Copies of this chain bind each other. A is one copy, B any other.
Amino acid sequence: MIKELKVKTGRREELIDITHLVREAVAKSEVENGIVHLHVPHTTAAITINENADPDVKRDILYKLSKEIPQQDNYHHGEGNSDAHIKSSLIGPTLQLIISDSKLILGIWQGILFCEFDGPRARRLYLKIVAD
């Protein structure tokens, strides 16, 4: 079964912690052991895992990506968001995580981050849980 999560972004570029949404879906599924598959169905957004404790880590990721891949360059695509398409493929649109003993496995400092690169928009995230 596939579940659709909704993510509302508020700026052009933003890393939004969605760990709690994924944990809720895992809890509701009552799956004890398995895999959670996550898929961002957009071409100017992505999904990653990184530190969620100090907000400056998220700021630094976005700062550096935009410094190296600015919105203006010698791009041909006419919508002004080629930088967002490039960042989407560099970070990646899919992620898989392990469920063990009914818990979503993440490192102590790890959070799941929805990456908005061309917002603000109403975004979606597909989630599928496969039990062992």
Which A residues fall within an 8 A CB radius of B? 1-2, 33-35, 37, 39-43, 48-51, 54, 56-57, 59-61, 63-65, 67-69, 73-79, 82, 85-86, 88-98, 100, 105-110, 113, 126, 128, 130, 132
Contacts and interface: CB of A to CB of B under 8 A. Distances in A.
Contacts of A91: 89-90, 92
Given A105-B126, A110-B43, A77 B89 contact: no
A57 B73 contact: no
Contact of A93 (B33, B39, B40, B49): B49
Given A35-B128, A90-B90, 7 more contacts: A2-B98, A42-B109, A48-B92, A49-B89, A60-B76, A60-B85, A64-B75
**Taking the full assembly, how many copies of this chain does it contain?**
3
